């Protein structure tokens, strides 16, 4: 069955065709019959095929898990770097332009170029993809953090200082919680675009569902390609919904005010 699906040259498919025919004629037809019934077989090659999802479940689950892991790690990595950068930019206003400029400049490097650029240093590993995607997420997250902290009302800050809050406690207990709505808006953008970008990681074979898409194109395997593409979008929507939920839980005072 995999042989049928993997045959990509005209020669290969005609070979598969002839074996299917001989199989049927010699009476040992059960294999050939099921091959014809499969909607993902080379001859049918349907876009959506439930049999594919069932037969290839382990492969699909692995790819999806890898996709989620890479996405989450990348956004976390981006946030980890964005946090000190945003604090630095706030502390030293002169650096703000530089930090925003450099992180935006990273965006002009296409992702397909960024991964090969990192490979000489980090090799063909998931690390390469995570670092690359983290740098992209960074651009959005630094902006979101800065905007979020800026959106904190000055009165809240004054009140906390009046209650004797130090810089650190002010940041953790007052400013960050109040920055959550704007930060989550940035996180949503970063997460959704990272889910989409992870597919390009297939270049170094760590692309999660992108690996399936790449194999689907190369082998003209429509069910694989389409399933992976749909799963990517579903994943993006799910993670987005999770973040919205997290925001609602983290900002109880906003309930009923904002949707």
Task: Specify the residue for token string 């990348």.
Answer: 74
Q: Which of 139, 175, 206, 247 binds other proteins (CB under 8 A)?
A: 139
Q: Between vectors from CA 110 to CA 130 and to CA 197, what angle results, nearest 5°?
A: 45
CB of 215 to other proteins, least distance (A): 10
Task: List the interface residues with other proteins, window 105-124 (CB under 8 A).
Answer: 107-117, 119-120
Q: Which of 185, 244, 246, 250 binds other proteins (CB under 8 A)?
A: 185
Q: How far is CA 246 from CA 32, 99, 139, 234, 252, in A?
A: 51, 28, 22, 18, 10
CA trace torsion 231, 54, 202, 239 (10° rounding): 30
Q: Which of 13, 125, 127, 220 binds other proteins (CB under 8 A)?
A: 220
Label residues 95-133 b or e (16+ Cβ within 10 Å = b).
Answer: ebeebbeebeeeeeeebeebbeebeeebeeebbbbbbbb
Select the span of 32-40, 57-65, 172-180, 199-207 touching other proteins (CB under 8 A).
Answer: 199-207
CB of 249 to other proteins, least distance (A): 20
| Nearer to other proteins (CB atom), residue 139 or residue 160 | 139
Does 210 interact with other proteins (rule: CB under 8 A)? yes
DSSP reduced 3-state for 7: coil
The dihedral sign for the CA sequence 247, 251, 256, 258? negative
Q: Residue 195 CB: number of other CB atoms within 10 A?
A: 28
Q: How many residues bind other proteins (CB under 8 A)?
A: 51
CB of 34 to other proteins, least distance (A): 25
| Nearer to other proteins (CB atom), residue 43 or residue 117 | 117
x/- track of binding to other proteins for residues 47-66 (CB under 8 A)? x-------------------
If 0-12 CB within 10 Å is exposed, 13-18 middle and 19+ buried, where does residue 158 land? exposed
Does 236 interact with other proteins (rule: CB under 8 A)? yes
| Nearer to other proteins (CB atom), residue 152 or residue 200 | 200
Applying CB under 8 A, the residues found at the interface with other proteins are 47, 104, 107-117, 119-120, 136, 139-140, 143-144, 147, 182, 185-186, 188-189, 192-193, 195-197, 199-200, 202-203, 210, 213-214, 216-217, 220, 222, 225-226, 228-229, 232-233, 236-237, 240
């Amino acid at each position: 069955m995999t042989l049928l699906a993997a045959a990509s040259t005209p020669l290969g498919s005609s070979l598969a065709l002839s074996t299917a025919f001989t199989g049927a004629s010699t009476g040992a037809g059960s294999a050939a019959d099921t091959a014809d019934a499969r909607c993902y077989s080379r001859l049918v090659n349907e876009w959506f095929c439930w049999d594919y999802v069932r037969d290839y479940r382990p492969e699909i689950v692995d790819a999806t898990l890898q996709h989620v892991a890479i996405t989450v790690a990348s956004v976390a990595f981006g946030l980890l770097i964005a946090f000190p950068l945003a604090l630095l930019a706030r502390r030293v206003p002169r650096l703000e332009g530089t930090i925003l400029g450099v992180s935006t400049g990273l965006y002009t490097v296409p992702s397909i170029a960024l991964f090969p650029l990192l490979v000489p240093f980090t090799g063909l590993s998931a690390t390469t993809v995570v670092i690359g995607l983290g740098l992209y997420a960074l651009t959005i997250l630094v902006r979101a953090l800065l905007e979020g902290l800026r959106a904190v009302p000055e009165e809240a800050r004054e009140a906390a200082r009046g209650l004797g809050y130090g810089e650190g406690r002010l940041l953790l207990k007052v400013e960050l919680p109040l920055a959550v709505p704007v930060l989550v808006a940035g996180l949503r953008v970063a997460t959704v675009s990272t889910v989409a970008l992870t597919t390009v990681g297939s270049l170094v074979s760590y692309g999660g569902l992108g690996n399936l898409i790449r194999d689907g194109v190369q082998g003209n395997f429509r069910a694989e390609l389409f399933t992976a593409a749909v799963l990517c979008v579903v994943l993006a929507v799910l993670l987005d919904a999770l973040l919205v939920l997290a925001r609602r839980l983290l900002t109880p005072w906003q309930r009923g005010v904002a949707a």
